[in-house]
Structure 1
Amino acid sequence: MSKEQITLTKNELKRVMVIEKWIDGHLTEQDVARNLGISVRQAYRLKAKYRHGGAQAIAHGNRGRKPAHTLTDSLKQRVMLLYQERYFGSNATHFAELLAEHENIHLSVSSVRRILLEGGLRPARLRRRPKAHRPRPRKPQAGMLWQIDASPYAWLEDRGPMLTLHGIIDDATGEVVAATFRPTETLEGYVTVMIEGLRRKGVPLALYSDQHSIFHPPKGKPTLEQELAGEPPSLSTFGQALADLGITHIEALSPQAKGRIERLWQTFQDRLVIELRLRNVCTMEEANRVLPELIAKHNRQFAVAPQEAEPAYRPLPETPLEHIFTRREYRRISGGQTFFWKGKCYMPKPVPGVPRWEAKSVVEVRVGMDGQVWLWDQGRAWPCVETQATQTPAPTTAKKEAAPASPRKPAANHPWRKPFSSKQLQRSTASG
């Protein structure tokens, strides 16, 4: 007759050995309770179970049984199939959210992670290294500090071109104020998100950016236009607009300094790519069309309440934002009220009240992101239209052919024809 084998854990084996010594009289009930870390009453229960069923009774009762709340194999297979076909690349947290939103499958994040690990679809996540420095605390009020940046990435994967996402995040709340896709990192992209954010929220106190030439032009000698206007080359086009709005510009010396928006790009590269794939977005126009919906969804999930309810935003200026975020040049205006910019001739549009500038005076020209040209005078923009340059006809001078000079004969009364007098002869002889 074969003996039944019983598998016990270390803790269960320890309980069996202690209870046997208690039964043999080598230990008291207080010693058993102290060694096993249980109460005396629980020790008597274990002793009764051991006498009734032996060592097998000490083992856990659910060993070898399938839990009642376990996931079925068919559900696990379906989850792994959905991940491979539709949601590949998403992390466990995002995948669990997508399953509940699109597939009506409600699983915990730990269950989803365990299914992916068992199927070999996700690598085991390494433990994060401890942070070397303490992160900077958030600003107490919304609108005290915005962080602005751009992230080039394959947002459309292989369905479309490489795009660059421009965005602004509020430091106090983590709310994405505005965002837009552009082919590359451009001034127009930053101006678009700034104007959108200013109209939605108001004017913030400060803006945090990197040292890109869009925000910080390279140091050098002033241009001719700046010398004519008497302005130093200290501000870029974007910097001049911030100065007009009274926004303090702070330049980060490293990506870690503006870590809040850098972590935003990591989150977007992990989640936004999946959302765009599920909507089958293939062009930049389609991506910008669905972007407000995705930004609103992100803000509902990740934005936090500020420490102080009162925001620090200021009202917008009376000057339209399109007249502030412009390229600024300086030109000399002619007597016909025309000037040149990029090889084209412009003049102020004839509207009531348009001033007249003196000839050869230096005027400020502002060019919008859409190419509209204005003459800026005393806080007002006067629209300009393209015109034909007035051409002054050049004088025509006929070239004369070279001819031999006519022979010249002295006149009859010329001194050369008169004979020398005696006095002149003596004077010439004495001098010789």
Structure 2
Amino acid sequence: MFTLKEINRTKILQDVIDRNLRPGQAAEMLGITPRHCSRLISRYRQSGPLGVTNRSRGCLGNRRLPETLTERVLHIIRENYVDFGPTLAREKLEETHGLILGKETVRRLMIKAGIWVPRSKRAPRIQQPRYRRACTGELVQIDGCNHHWFESRAKPCTLLVYVDDATSCLMQLRFVKSESTFTYFVATRSYLEKHGKPMALYSDKASVFRINNKNAVGGDGYTQFGRAMHELNIQVICANTSSAKGRVERAHLTLQDRLVKELRLRGISSMEEANLYAEEFMDDYNRRFAKAPRHDFDVHRPLEPDDDLAEVFTWREPRRVSKSLTVQYDKMLYLIEDNDLSRKAIGKYIEVWHYPDGRKELRLNGSVLPYSTYDRLSEIDQGAIVDNKRLGRTLEFIKLVQEKRDNNRSQTVPAGDGPSRRHRKPTEKKSQRSLNGDDMLDALKTLQSRSEEIFGKRK
């Protein structure tokens, strides 16, 4: 059986024999050296087309594993690691049995022996529908949908959607700029104040709900949103596929059709107005599309007296206090007030609580530390004043240099009998030469007067 490459090579060699091509041209067309081309022509004349084929075809490779080693490896895998993958099986062969093989070698042996089935030949996974949860509030699916909700009247934004799994009711709608931890904080707090605490929230694997860094070694394993839900005893479940949370995904399609048109009919073109209308739209949507639960029992739990939602929904990060009682967070330097409590925090880690409304608190073991922000603008003004003071000494030095040059110019040069030896240099344009003393003096005077005007106004 000839390959396409060998057929093309045979045709070119035949053209050389028929004197339609020169050997050098044939070697260039085949991408080989002229010497090798002459060798192929000799083999073609002696053996015909079979002489052009690769002579190593059908022969055993020089690096082929011995049959005894192959049988031993397959026997060990069948006895101990029949349900292992090639990578793990290779590691166990090296660690336990002292057999060092490549991962792809073990994979090839397992596939050939029928122990391992490659992913390309596996049967596709079938996603069968699951039953709805029995009670309202048992599972709430949450997701964000970025869309042109106001069409061309405003920029696109994101709608956070909360759908109950048992009834397909819309539990919460909130228009926000984008999906973030703080926007989910605000929407979830509004949900809890209206309905109570559900048993579980069902979301995707976004970084708001799950730590996606595989190399993370520190922390408690929760995101900021997950930590808040853990404090409220609400379970957060991340779906493996988008079809697993099909209730909220299908709700997006309905909302992108009906809600967009309702906003257009009412002339709503801002997120604030849309959030006010969301409650009316949810009531009409639920009246039309809601399903009856299997058990008429609402498992939403009321908020406990000690559930302070303002403190729960905060972004918390540890920061170490320096010897000068300072903490840096979010590109800002915070000066902690010097007192007995704050002195105990030197060299220790405190928590910076960032509220959704922008407020920040520094806490040490639950106690709030008073602080003030570092005013970097005053530091820049002080630097400008120092530069202005140095400018005066620079101006005095330039004045002395200018007076010395004027004195040198005033001295007369004695004229001789012949022509003067001093040649006048060709004139240059001001843009082509460097600034002289007069230009520098004028520029510095202008800068000094401008600086005095600025600092005079600030005073």
TM-score, normalised by the number of residues in structure 1: 0.52
What residue in structure 2 maps to residue 326 of structure 1? Answer: 314
Partner SS for 2:152: coil
Quote the offset at 1:192 in angstroms: 1.9
2:205 is matched with which residue: 205, 211, 227?
Answer: 211
What residue ranges of structure 2 are gaps of 5+ in the alignment? Answer: 1-125, 380-459
1:245 is matched with which residue: 229, 232, 250?
Answer: 232
What residue in structure 1 maps to residue 154 of structure 2? Answer: 160
Aligned residue type for 2:284: K
* Aligned-partner Cα distance in 1 for 2:184–2:241: 20
2:333 is matched with which residue: 345, 359, 366?
Answer: 345
2:262 is matched with which residue: 265, 275, 278?
Answer: 275
Aligned-residue sequence identity (percent) comes to: 35
Quote the offset at 1:356 in angstroms: 6.2
CA offset digits 1:297-325 (Å, max 9, x no partner): 21232223332233222232424223222
Partner SS for 1:169: strand
Aligned residue type for 1:152: N
Confirm or deny that 1:181 pairs with 2:168. no
What residue in structure 2 maps to residue 307 of structure 1? Answer: 294
Alpha-carbon contact 2:232-2:307 (below 8 Å) kept: no
Quote the offset at 1:349 in angstroms: 8.0
Question: CA 1:321 to 1:355, structure 2 compared with 1: closer, same or farther past 3 Å?
Answer: farther
2:130 is matched with which residue: 126, 129, 136?
Answer: 136
Question: CA 1:309 to 1:355, structure 2 compared with 1: closer, same or farther past 3 Å?
Answer: farther
Confirm or deny that 1:256 pairs with 2:250. no
Alpha-carbon contact 2:160-2:175 (below 8 Å) kept: yes
Aligned residue type for 2:310: E
CA offset digits 1:48-84 (Å, max 9, x no partner): xxxxxxxxxxxxxxxxxxxxxxxxxxxxxxxxxxxxx
CA offset digits 1:230-259 (Å, max 9, x no partner): x34x22211211222222111111111000
Quote the offset at 1:377 in angstroms: 4.4
* Aligned-partner Cα distance in 1 for 2:371–2:171: 33
* Aligned-partner Cα distance in 2 for 1:323–1:172: 31
TM-score, normalised by the number of residues in structure 2: 0.50
1:190 is matched with which residue: 162, 184, 193?
Answer: 184
Partner SS for 2:174: strand
Partner SS for 2:328: strand
Alpha-carbon contact 1:161-1:283 (below 8 Å) kept: no
Aligned residue type for 1:258: K
Question: CA 1:248 to 1:355, structure 2 compared with 1: closer, same or farther past 3 Å?
Answer: same
* Aligned-partner Cα distance in 1 for 2:287–2:142: 20
Question: CA 1:312 to 1:347, structure 2 compared with 1: closer, same or farther past 3 Å?
Answer: farther
Larger radius of gyration: 1
Larger proportion of helix = 2
Quote the offset at 1:292 in angstroms: 2.0
* Aligned-partner Cα distance in 2 for 1:381–1:149: 35
Confirm or deny that 1:284 pairs with 2:271. yes
What residue in structure 1 maps to residue 54 of structure 2? Answer: none
Aligned residue type for 1:280: G
Confirm or deny that 1:316 pairs with 2:303. yes
After TM superposition, the structure 1 stretch with the greater mean CA deviation from structure 2, 286-295 or 371-380, is 371-380
Question: CA 1:181 to 1:327, structure 2 compared with 1: closer, same or farther past 3 Å?
Answer: same
Higher relative contact order (CA 8 A, sep 6+): 1
Quote the offset at 1:133 in angstroms: 6.1
Alpha-carbon contact 1:337-1:357 (below 8 Å) kept: no
Give the total of aligned pairs: 252
Question: CA 1:162 to 1:259, structure 2 compared with 1: closer, same or farther past 3 Å?
Answer: same
Aligned residue type for 2:279: P
Alpha-carbon contact 1:167-1:193 (below 8 Å) kept: no
What residue ranges of structure 1 are gaps of 5+ in the alignment? Answer: 1-131, 392-432
Question: CA 1:358 to 1:380, structure 2 compared with 1: closer, same or farther past 3 Å?
Answer: closer
Quote the offset at 1:348 in angstroms: 6.2
CA offset digits 1:203-248 (Å, max 9, x no partner): 111110001111122224448xx5xxxx34x222112112222221
Quote the offset at 1:382 in angstroms: 6.1
Alpha-carbon contact 1:146-1:171 (below 8 Å) kept: yes
Aligned residue type for 1:265: H
After TM superposition, the structure 1 stretch with the greater mean CA deviation from structure 2, 133-142 or 234-243, is 133-142
Partner SS for 1:267: helix
